[in-house]
Amino acid sequence: MLNILRDVKNIEMTEVNDVEFDIEIFATGYESRSIILAQKLTNQSCPNRLVFGFAENRLDENRIKNDVFYESIGITPTVVSSRDDSEIYSHLIRTFNNVKDLQNINILLDYTSMSRLWYPGILHFIRLQEKTSINVYINYSLGKYSNNFLDHSYTSISSLPSHEGSLSSNNKTLLVLAIGFSPYMVKSVIEEIEPNQIIGVLPIPNIIEKYVEISKNIKENILTNDIDIWINCPINNLEHIFRTYAELASNNINQKDLIFLSLGPKIFTIASILVSQRFDQVTCLYIKSDGSVADVEASGDFICNKISYGK
CATH code assigned at 70: 3.40.50
* pLDDT for residue 209: 62
Residues 120 and 222 in one domain: no
Lowest mean pLDDT among 4-18, 20-34, 118-132, 154-168: 154-168
d(CA 110, CA 279): 24
Q: Is the pLDDT of residue 148 over 70?
A: no
Whether 259 and 158 map to the same domain: the answer is yes
- The segment with the largest mean pLDDT, out of 179-183, 199-203, 220-224, is 199-203
Residues forming beta bridges with residue 27, ordered by sequence position: 52
Q: Are residues 301 and 184 in the same domain?
A: no
For β-strands 49-54 and 23-28, DSSP reports them as parallel
What is the extent of the structural domain holding 186? Answer: 154-289
Task: Tell whether 85 and 192 lie within a shared domain.
Answer: no
Whether residue 78 has pLDDT greater than 80: yes
Number of domains in the chain: 2
**pLDDT at residue 151 greater than cutoff 70:** no
Same domain, 110 and 162: no
Interatomic CA distance for residues 134 and 129, integer angstroms = 9
Q: Are residues 163 and 72 in the same domain?
A: no
Say whether both 223 and 260 belong to one domain. yes
What does the pLDDT look like over 259-298, one tens digit per residue?
A: 999 987 889 999 999 999 999 899 999 987 665 667 788 8
Same domain, 255 and 207: yes
User: How many CB atoms within 10 Å of residue 109?
Assistant: 24
CB neighbours (10 Å) of residue 186? Answer: 23
**230 and 108 belong to one structural domain:** no
Amino acid at 172: K
Average pLDDT, the chain: 88
